[in-house]
Amino acid sequence: MVPVVIELTLKAGRERSVLRRHPWILSGAVAAVEGAEGQEPGGAVRVSSATGKVLGYGHYSPASQIRVRLLSFGAAAPGEGELAARVAAAVARRAGCPLLGETNALRLVNAEGDGLPGLIADRYGDVVVVKLGSAGMQRRRDEIAEALREATGAAAGFERADAAAARREGLPAHQGPLWGEAPAAPVAIRERDREFEVDVVEGQKTGFYLDQRDARDRVAQLAAGRRVLDLFSFTGGFAVAAARGGAEQVTLVESSSSALARAELHMKRNAPAASFECHGEDAFEFARKSERGVYDLIIADPPPMARRRGDVQKASRAYKDLFLHAIGLAAPGARLLFFACSHHVDADLLRKIVFGASVDARRSLRVLGTLGAPVDHPVSLDHPEGEYLRGLLLEL
C-alpha cells in the first residue's frame, strides 16, 4: 500500500460513515484532493477529516461516484503485503468452513464481505475467475493474480470483464488469462450430486449462480414427486436439483437460447430418465398464459429489476405481476420459491410484494422460511449494500 501519494480531505461533518467503518467515500463527501493529478487511477490514498484527523487508507477512483474504497481505518497505513494477506485469509476461511464441503465451485473472495472492496474471485474446479471492479484492484491486477495463484494452487486464473464496473470507473473493460492457459472449453464442476459445465468466459456473472447453492439444496429436498416449474432457469441449476430430488416433471423457462441449450444438456447428464421440457421464451409471458393450477413446486428467480433506488417502485410492480401469475399456476399445496436479487428490494419489501400478489390472486400463502446467499458470500455488517439476494419459501 505504500507509498501514499494522494491526500483526500472530507467535507466538514462527512466523516461519520467512515467512523462507523463504512468502506466507501462518495464523491459528494470530498472537499479536496492532492497528488492525484497525472496519476494512473487506483492509487493509494490517505483520507482525513476536515479537521485533519487521519481516518483511513484506500484506493482512489477519480471517475467513480465511489471515490475511495477504504482498506483500513485509523491512522496506521496497511503494509505492503496486505492485499495478498487478505486474499489468503479469505481462501483459508472457506477451506476451513464445514458448510462448504461437497463442491468444487465456490466464491473465494466476496469484495467488501472479505475486506477486499472491488474484488470478486470464484473458483470453478482448477480455474479461478476474477472480476476487478475498481480502479484500485485493476491497477493491482498482477499482485492479486499472484496472491490468488499462491493461495489456491489452481492451474489457471481468468479475468472476466465487468462492463458495468468499467463504465463506473471510467476504465476500459479487460478480459483474459491471469495465469495458466485461458479455459478453452466449459469447466466441469460438481456440487453435491449435481454436475454442471460452466462457461466461465461468456456465461452470466462469472459463469454460474454460485449464490443459489443453498436454494438448490432446498429445491432438491422439496422436489420428490412434484411437478416443478423453473422460471428464469439460466443453465438449469434449480431444474437439475429438482430432477435429482425426484421431481415427477420439470419445466424450464429461459429467454437466453445459449443458457437454455446448456440447461438441456445438464438435465440429460444429471437425470437421464427425467421428464422435462424447455421453453425458450419470456417468463412473464409464460406465467401469464400457462395453464393454471398445475405445478406443485414453482421457482421464480428473475434478473435484478431495481439496479438503482429510483427503480424500486417500477420493479415492485414487475415483481408483483410476476408473482401474481406464478401463484396462479400453483396447484393446491404447492410450494413456491420467490427471489429478488437487488439490494434495494430488501426482505421486508419482498414480503410486502408477495403479500400484495397473494391478495390479488385471492390465495392465502404461508411463509415457510427465507433464503439467501450461502456462506461463501459473506456480507460485512459495516457494508449492508453487499446484501442483495433474498428469497421466500412459501406454501399454498
Residues in Cβ contact with 44 at an 8 Å cutoff, skipping those fewer than 6 apart: 1, 2, 3, 4, 5, 6, 57, 58, 59, 60
d(CA 198, CA 313): 34
For ligand SAH, which is the closer residue by CB, 171 or 201?
201
Distance of alpha carbon 37 from alpha carbon 4, whole angstroms: 14
Distance CA 29, CA 10 (A): 6
279 residue type, one letter: H
Q: Which of 341, 349, 357, 389 is catalytic?
A: 341
State the minimum distance, in angstroms, from the CB of residue 349 to ligand SAH.
19
What's the closest the beta carbon of residue 387 comes to ligand SAH, in angstroms? 18
The reply to whether 97 belongs to the active site is no
Between strands 390-395 and 366-372, the pairing is antiparallel
Which grid coordinates belong to 396? 399454498
CA distances 237 to 58, 121, 232, 260, Å, are 38, 20, 10, 11
Residue 186 or 237 with smaller CB distance to ligand SAH: 237
Count of helix runs (H) and strand runs (E) in the chain:
11, 20
C-alpha cell at 316: 415492485
Q: Scanning the structure block, which residue is given the C-alpha cell 497525472?
A: 38
Nearest CB to ligand SAH, comparing residues 175 and 256 = 256
Complex with ligand SAH: residue 175 or 204, whichever CB lies closer? 204
What's the closest the beta carbon of residue 77 comes to ligand SAH, in angstroms?
41
Binding site for ligand SAH (CB under 6 A): 204, 209, 212, 232-235, 237-238, 253-256, 259, 282-284, 301, 303
Instruction: Give least dist CB 25 to ligand SAH, A.
Output: 32
CB of 341 to ligand SAH, least distance (A): 8
Q: For ligand SAH, give the closer residue by CB, 143 or 217.
A: 217
256 vs 30: CA distance, rounded Å:
43
Q: What is the DSSP string of 221-279?
A: HH-TT-EEEEES-TTTHHHHHHHHTT-SEEEEE-S-HHHHHHHHHHHHHH-TT--EEEE
| Least Cβ distance, residue 283 to ligand SAH (angstroms) | 4
Q: Give 171 or 241: the residue with its C-beta nearer to ligand SAH.
A: 241
- Annotated catalytic sites, by residue? 341
